[in-house]
Structure 1
Amino acid sequence: MNGWLIALAVSAAVFFALVALAIISPRRFVRLPFNILLSLLYRKRIFGLENLPTDGGCLVISNHVSWIDGILILWMLPRNVRFIVDGANFSSSIGTYLGNAFDTIFMMSQIKSIGRAIKAGREAIVDGDVVGVFPEGTISRTGQLQAFKPGITKIIKGTDAPVVPMWMDGMWGSIFSFSGGKFFYKWPKQFRRTLTLYIDKPVPADTPLEILRTRVQALGARATIDHRSQLPILAKGMIRVCRRRGGQMQAADSMGTEVSGREMLIRILALRRTLRREVFSDDEKYVGVLLPPSVGGVIVNIALAMDQRISANLNYTVSSDVMNHCIAEVGIKHVLTSERFLSKLDVKIDAEVILLDTLKDKVTKLDKAIAFIQATVVPASLLDRILGLSNVDGDDILTIIFTSGSTGMPKGVLLSNANISHNVDAIERAVKLDMNDTVLGVLPFFHSFGYSVTLWGAMSLGPRGIYHFNPLDSKQIGKLAEKYGVTVLLATPTFLRGYLRRVTPEQFSKLDVVVVGAEKMPAELFESFEKKFGVRPVEGYGATELSPLVSVNIPPSRSSAAHQADRVEGSVGRPLPGVSARVVSPDSGDELRAGEDGMLMVTGPNVMRGYANQEEMTGKAIQDGWYVTGDIANVDDQGFIHITGRLSRFSKIGGEMVPHVRIEEELSRLFCEGDDDETLRICVTAVPDAKKGERLIVLHVPTTKEIDDIRKGLSEAGLPNLFIPGRDGFIEVEAIPMLGTGKLDLKAAKDVAASLATSAGASDGDD
């Protein structure tokens, strides 16, 4: 009996002690159970804790992807953070108690309340407290960093306290994030997540808002780079997609080939076995692929990935000399192609050509039987180990993509599993591709966008892939889109012009997403395409060296934005999750303010591993982890990137930088005014000039327009006299030089201009 009394007395004492602690020191009372619970649910790591001031006031700013980000930061930091939060989320008695325990500053939606919260935050900083803000003002729906609200500059205004940028990594995918298109109501993807808090060096209170945003974004890129090993191995994902698809069609092409998910996986595995036995030596790394976008092209590329070979999709629109330069660059021994396709090309290949038509006869019954068992019976995780996919590292090279050669001889860009996997993950977040989508693959696989998205994006995320070898064949593309119910189209503005003329609205009736890149989208093309097909295209941006995606505007039908825009027409979108972009002065290297044009730099897990056998060139292209794009751009105050030109597409005339793209925009409007012809008609380039350094040249297709009227139109559009080409600078050509990827062939255009232009003639701007 005495034991029970003692136990009861101890329990009562503990109870009253906890009640007293809850009243006297709510923070300690709350921290104890929180520390225990959060330690059970999460592992924590902190980088840069020494950057957080140990005393004195400061403002900490962080990204915001989950409902409990504030709680997690309080758990991870040694100093209390007085977060400024939306008071509506803490309206209950428990919420108010918890908020008050940490001296939280509540803010309601009324203007007066917001002003009081800002004032309270400033006073807290002056008093030596750490004040915390999520400057996006809302939880990100994609993991992308959104625009920063200007309130944070008001909080710190008039103080000399520093701002400390932070990034919380690891919460995307949790039930508290918007992954999967909803909060809370989903199964957790993993137990005991590892959360990493990155803390950057403090910056002065007067640091511009857009620079603060870049600092936070750069931490996010660093976090994703550090954790790139966690990105999925795409070949594993493809196995699981094929298993889920089963007997339903997974891919088809314009040559009449249709395969189910099960059949595709069987063919891939059988081809892998046959190539290992009949063609490759054990130490053979690089394998050339000379195939158009097709079911066969998909199967070959995935079979190589499953065998840990590095595919090199060769550009079949270039000369033999250029193709053989690429082959020699990495020592390709074998090129896989088909007799039917090779017969259409006028090329001589300096490597052993393996015709898949002939190789098909060497696939044995045993190959087919083993492939069938592996594809249908063997558990996916066991199949991963059998194929060696469990040993694949994210940094292992998956493919080599040769640059377009628009400005010179192609360079071999080494892209890893993590490079491409990040792009696939990013496009899934932005465009939300799933099993219900059908992607039209018209971009060649030697184009990084075609390889990353229409090949791996479709095959590892679940959509059906429909392929055609000629992106300019509008009639056939229209038929395929109608037959298979295409929902997603990835193209260039040049391709869209053809579809406008030859594809009917009925053929694109299921189209839901159109993403364009490679060249600037003319404003009138947005309107024309939407008017005819009911879908407004969005622009994205990338480069081969960036796997290729950097940014994209979110398609209207896939948007889940709340309180912030995720699409700005005329821009190429915000950087994708895990990617950071900044604009610097080409002269000083200093980061520029919002709206100021400069050199665009990009960092993230999408940055290539380097150029093949070109260490010096790699060092010039990648500086301290940032890829120098060569593009002139600005980032607006909402974080959207605006490409204004390419450094190589500027002319220095009389000491002034003259942008070719700006002139092309006006010329396109003037040349196309009054008719429906959407083909590319003009290209601006330059030739040397003894007086002013360079002279503008306009290559244009035959036109009935008067050149004097065109020049007058440029002047009326407000272009400076220096931007207006002289009359003899307009040169008629049969067609504008284009690459097979749909981009302008800048080198060819410059060569044509040099050969046709005379050294005499009026200077720029002369009548």
Structure 2
Amino acid sequence: MVLTLALLAGLIAAWLMIAVVEKIRLGLRFAQALLYVPFKLAYRIADDRIKIARNAQAPVIYVISHQSRIEPALMLSLLPEDTLHILDDASARSPWLEPWRELGRTIAFNAEHVFVSRRLVRVLKGKGRLAVYLPDAVEPDVKSFRLFRAITRIAMQADARIVPIFVGGARYLPVSLTPAAIAPRHWFPCLSISVLEPMTIAELVARNPDQASNTNALFDRFAEARFAATDLERGLFVAMRDAADRVGASHPIIEDVISGALSYRKLFIGGRVLGRRFEAVTAPGEAVGVLLPNANGVVLTLLGLLSGGRVSAMINYTAGPASVTAAVRTAVIRTVVSSRAFVEKADLADIVTAVETGGARLLWLEDLRESVTPLEKLTAAVLWRWPLQPQNAAKPAVILFTSGSEGTPKAVVLSHKNLLANAMQAEARITISPADILLNVLPVFHSFGLTGGTILPLVTGVKLFLYPSPLHYKIIPEIARKVRPTIMFGTDTFLANYARTAKDGDFSSLRFVVAGAEAVKPETRRVYRDRFQAEIIEGFGLTEAAPVVAVNTAIHGRDGTVGRLLPAMRMKLEPVEGISDAGQLWLDGPNLMMGYMTADRPGELQPLTGWHDTGDIVAVDREGFITIRGRAKRFAKIAGEMVSLGAVEMLVQSLWPEQRHAAVAVPDKRRGERIVLVTTAEDADPEELRKFGRQAGAAELMVPNDIVKVREIPVLGSGKTDYVSTRKLALDKLGVAA
């Protein structure tokens, strides 16, 4: 009895002592600190940034993501005592919350009337504080989005600052408000409180003045708080391991058509075994070429290189021998990992020769696999959770080569932080979960296929099914019928061809399709909506941004645009001579590359400093939706007027929607340049096109007089039109000197 009492007294004393420490450290009242201690100990809460919220000058509105039943208790313990908490009905009545409700002022939430109350504006104008709990939805529905509008109005009327708060990890608690299939439960996950600096609505809008909507400025700031909950300093390997911890090491995470499915544990074991072999033949920080298709082997290789502190240089084997040799030399690649079976099946003997011509040797996965000993497998099975080398998120992780659609490819160097940031920016904008299955047919040497189609699922627990070629138009719909994916990535060209060969039920499992690299044609969008009940959400990116810059969502989307800027990114538009309603896009954000390597300075990182010029001409509407007018290089200057070649293609596509078209500019002695249409439409007629252009209200300069008919328009491995080859083809056909 005495021992029990002594133990109890010791526990109470420890509780009181920790409460005193927390009171001093965070500036809490003692009662707040006392009730905060159980949360602090149970969930090892990273809470340093809560000081930003506590020190915010009133009037202030705390906008809190309500993911679980503990957020109200946490915030009542941590926010200033004069804060008025607007609670949902369940939190306002819950018996267990009674001690915490005594810590501050609370009122019950009424979704229909609470935010139009003048009382809240008066509270704020009297130097008050409000805590508002919003539903945890990446893509809020109309009713939830109405709350953002209401908060915006109140903040503007009271000139109040906004402080977004997101409790990272709360959605995985047993008291989570998210279904368990989407957020697997853990009794004691580590929590981290993400708090952003206080800003008024006017200040939020001023950060991206080209996105003028007040409500969207608040919505984007809230998404930033979700994004900021990710620790970008942990690196890709650790982020993938954390995902394994969240969804379970036995969770099937990758699968291909040959090797079958691998769980997280098996993936990490295989990656560690390969990483040991890579360590033996390469130096830390060395660029190691990866010449592999979309299959389990490429993910194992990437993970092994990450674990071993090497840089994965993704070789585009569709670019041709000359480009491959140039890539090997530009990035100073000495070793390239490949597969004999793949090289033989894809008939890539010339690419292997090109690699060797560039000065690299081949390391074959088949040889590595045969040489693995039982002891190595056992060691990897025991130590799979730990990387082989210390991880530094600021160092290079991947080298990608630009598509070269308009010129010589360059090597783009991306850090762990760039890639992880972009994956989590996308996760803060698009609703995905471990309940999803992602079918990726885009090659990993393309930034879209790497970040969106490979890294994003690995760091979020989404099961990934890899298929080696996007060009198998008949097979991919059959694969989709068997795999039942809920998400697919693709380009308009690929998606349109899949739809032509697919049966009605092949893509019926899809929730949405993310499309990029080229504009989505209205016909492609209509087919997927009508036949497969799947929404195509169009996005925009560039390799230098790792790659996603903007994206529509299934709920917040606008056809014909590429969506809205991702969280934590900024943009500015520079005026372009001859274009009044659009500008040249410059970007800044945590996903922007480390820098380039170029052929004239091989192996030397030329760092990006400040803003990045994308070379794209874009227009932005009041809601922040971005419309691509074309590349700056994809404008023709005709008699002093700037004409978008992309707009020409859209005009032609409206007339002959079943065919493929590319508009290119060629020299013209009289007017500087003229537009040539390269098309697969056999019956394309210049007079018919001119007549259609007049009916559509197109300027006469936009309508090509020259039409070159071809069987196929050249494309790159990424699915984009190869404009360099297309222009050369047009010049040859017309007999015009470049």
Shorter-normalised TM range: 0.7 to 0.9
Alignment partner of 2:362: what SS?
strand
The 1-side partners of 2:456 and 2:679 are apart by: 37
Identity across aligned pairs (percent)? 25
Q: Is residue 441–residue 466 contact of structure 2 (8 Å, CA) maintained in 1?
A: yes
Q: 1:718 — aligned with what?
A: 697
Q: Which moved more, 1:734-743 or 1:643-652?
A: 643-652
1:503 alignment partner AA: A
The CA deviation at 1:747 is 3.2
Mean CA deviation greater in 687-696 or 68-77: 68-77
Shift of 1:400: 1.1
Specify the alignment match of 1:748 in structure 2: 725
Q: CA deviation at 1:218?
A: 6.1
Q: Determine the structure 2 residue equivalent to 1:499.
A: 498
The answer for the alignment partner of 1:359 in structure 2 is 367
Assess if the C-alpha contact under 8 Å between 2:64 and 2:131 holds in 1: no
Map of 1:419 onto structure 2: 418
Which range is displaced more, 302-311 or 68-77? Answer: 68-77
TM-superposed deviation, 1:447 = 0.7
SS in 1 for 2:676: strand
CA gap 1:79/1:265 in 2 versus in 1, 3 angstroms:
closer
Partner SS, residue 586 of structure 1: strand
The residue number in structure 1 matching 2:644 is 659
Give the number of aligned pairs: 676
SS at match of 2:333: coil
The structure 1 residue matched to 2:137, chosen from 133, 136, 141, is: 141
Matched, 1:286 2:287: yes
Q: Against the structure 1 CA distance between its residues 92 and 501, is the aligned structure 2 distance closer, same or farther, given a 3 Å change threshold?
A: closer
Matched with 2:634 is 649
| Post-superposition offset of 1:486 | 4.3
CA 1:305–1:238 in 2, change beyond 3 Å: closer, same or farther? Answer: farther
1:598–1:494 CA distance, 2 compared to 1 (3 A): same
Equivalent residues in 2 for 1:387-406 (5 A)?
Answer: 387-388=387-388, 391-406=390-405
CA distance in 1 between partners of 2:145 and 2:619 (Å): 16
Q: Which of 600, 603, 608 is 1:619 aligned to?
A: 608
Matched, 1:586 2:587: no
Q: Which residue of the partner structure matches residue 229 of structure 1?
A: 233
- Summarize the Cα distance change of 1:149–1:358 in structure 2 as closer, same or farther, 3 Å threshold: closer
Query: 1:480 Cα deviation (Å)?
Result: 3.1
The answer to whether residue 375 in structure 2 is matched with residue 370 in structure 1 is: yes
Q: Distance in 2 between matches of 1:757 and 1:45?
A: 67
What corresponds to 2:323 in structure 1? 322
Q: CA deviation at 1:472?
A: 1.4
Tell me, what secondary structure is at the counterpart of 1:407?
coil
**C-alpha distance in structure 1 between counterparts of 2:150 and 2:462, whole Å:** 42
Q: 1:631 aligns with which of 606, 609, 616?
A: 616
The TM-score normalised by the length of structure 1 is 0.74
Using the TM superposition, name which of 595-604 and 641-650 deviates more.
595-604
Match of 1:607 among 564, 567, 592: 592
The 5 Å alignment of 1:155-194 reads 155=154, 162-171=159-168, 173-174=170-171, 175=173, 186-187=185-186, 190-191=189-190, 193-194=192-193
Deviations 1:529-571 (A, max 9, x none): 333334333223332222223444445xxxxxxxxx4444444
CA contact (8 A) 1:173 1:189 kept: no
Q: Which residue of 2 aligns with 1:34?
A: 32
CA shift, 1:274, in A, is 3.6
- Distance (whole Å) between structure 2 residues aligned to residue 746 and residue 80 of structure 1: 62
SS of aligned partner of 1:45: coil
2:388 partner amino acid? G
Partners of 1:465 and 1:201 lie apart in 2 by: 41
> 1:338 is matched with which residue?
339
Report how far residue 315 of structure 1 moved: 0.7
Match of 1:685 among 638, 642, 664: 664
Instruction: Assess if the C-alpha contact under 8 Å between 1:402 and 1:413 holds in 2.
Output: yes
Partner of 1:210: 213
Whether the aligned pair in 1 keeps the contact of 2:284 and 2:308 (CA below 8 Å) is no
- State the distance in 1 between where 2:98 and 2:147 align: 26
The answer to whether the 8 Å contact 2:275/2:308 transfers is yes
* Residues 1:737 and 2:696 aligned together: no
- Give distance in 2, aligned partners of 1:274 and 1:205: 50
The CA deviation string for residues 691-735 of structure 1, in whole angstroms up to 9 with x for no partner, is 65543332212421432122222222232344x32423x333342
**Is contact 1:583-1:599 (8 Å) kept?**
no
Distance 1:424 1:50 in 2: 27
Residues 169 and 220, structure 1, Cα contact 8 Å, conserved in 2: no
Residue 619 of structure 1 aligns with an amino acid whose one-letter code is L
Q: How does 1:387-466 map to 2 (within 5 A)?
A: 387-388=387-388, 391-425=390-424, 430-434=430-434, 437-459=436-458, 461-462=460-461, 465-466=464-465
Contact 1:148–1:213 (CA<8 Å) still a contact in 2? no
> Shift of residue 466 of structure 1?
3.9
1:706 is aligned to 2:706? no
What CA deviation, in whole Å up to 9, does each residue of 1:473-509 have, x standing for no partner?
1123234334444443211110012112223335445
Tell me if the contact between 1:333 and 1:352 (Cα under 8 Å) persists in the aligned partners.
Answer: yes
Distance 1:93 1:657 in 2: 64
> How many Å apart are 1:660 and its aligned residue?
2.9
The change in CA–CA distance for 1:102 and 1:526 in structure 2 (over 3 A counts) is same
Distance across 2 between alignment mates of 1:225 and 1:99: 26
Unaligned runs of 5+ in 2: 1-27, 40-44
Contact between 2:64 and 2:134, CA under 8 Å: does it hold in 1? no
1:1-80 matches, within 5 Å, as 33-38=31-36, 41=39, 42=45, 44-46=47-49, 58=59, 60=61, 62=63, 64=65, 66=67, 80=82
One-letter amino acid of the counterpart of residue 649, structure 2: E
**Deviation (angstroms), 1:360:** 4.3
* TM-align CA RMSD: 4.6
Residue 537 of structure 1 aligns to a residue whose secondary structure is strand
Aligned amino acid, residue 615 of structure 2: G
Unaligned runs of 5+ in 1: 1-29, 556-564, 589-594, 761-767
> Whole-Å Cα distance in 2 between the matches of residues 143 and 515 of structure 1?
15
Query: Deviations for 1:79-118, whole angstroms, at most 9, x for unmatched residues?
Result: 95567x578678769999999997778885557x755x2x
Structure 2 letter corresponding to 1:129: K
CA contact (8 A) 2:62 2:165 kept: no
Alpha-carbon distance between aligned partners in 2 of 1:205 and 1:408, rounded to the nearest angstrom? 38
**Cα distance, 1:190–1:329 mapped onto 2, change above 3 Å:** same
- Matched residue SS, 1:129: coil
For the 8 Å contact 1:267–1:371, the answer to whether it is kept is no
Cα–Cα, structure 1 residues 585 and 327, in superposed 2: closer, same or farther, change >3 Å?
same
Q: Could you report, residue by residue, the CA deviation over 1:12-37 in whole angstroms, capped at 9, with x for unpaired residues?
A: xxxxxxxxxxxxxxxxxx96533542
Question: How many Å separate the matches in 2 of 1:155 and 1:427?
Answer: 29
CA-CA distance at 1:446 after TM superposition? 0.5
Measure, in 2, the Cα distance between the counterparts of 1:444 and 1:637: 35
Give the CA deviation at 1:333: 0.5
**Preserved contact between residue 61 and residue 155 of structure 2 (Cα < 8 Å):** no
Task: Give the 3 Å change call, closer, same or farther, for CA 479–150 of structure 1 in structure 2.
Answer: closer
Contact kept in structure 1, 2:648 and 2:703, CA below 8 Å: no
1:727 paired residue number: 705
CA 1:297/1:656 → structure 2, altered by over 3 Å: closer, same or farther? same
Give the 3-state SS of the residue equivalent to 1:410 in structure 2.
Answer: coil
Cα gap change, 1:43 to 1:149, in 2 (>3 Å): closer
CA distance in 2, matches of 1:69, 1:269: 39
**Structure 2 Cα separation of the partners of residues 183 and 453 of structure 1:** 19
Q: Which moved more, 1:346-355 or 1:138-147?
A: 138-147
Cα 1:60–1:212 change in 2 (3 A) is farther
Q: CA deviation at 1:276?
A: 3.8
Please give the alpha-carbon distance, in whole angstroms, between the structure 2 residues aligned to 1:36 and 1:671: 71
SS in 1 for 2:608: helix
Secondary structure, in 3 states, of the residue corresponding to 1:198?
A: coil
Deviations 1:153-198 (A, max 9, x none): 65466x7x75534332444635587666799995455356344342
**Which residue number in structure 1 is paired with residue 479 of structure 2?**
480
C-alpha separation between the residues in 2 aligned to 1:110 and 1:292? 53
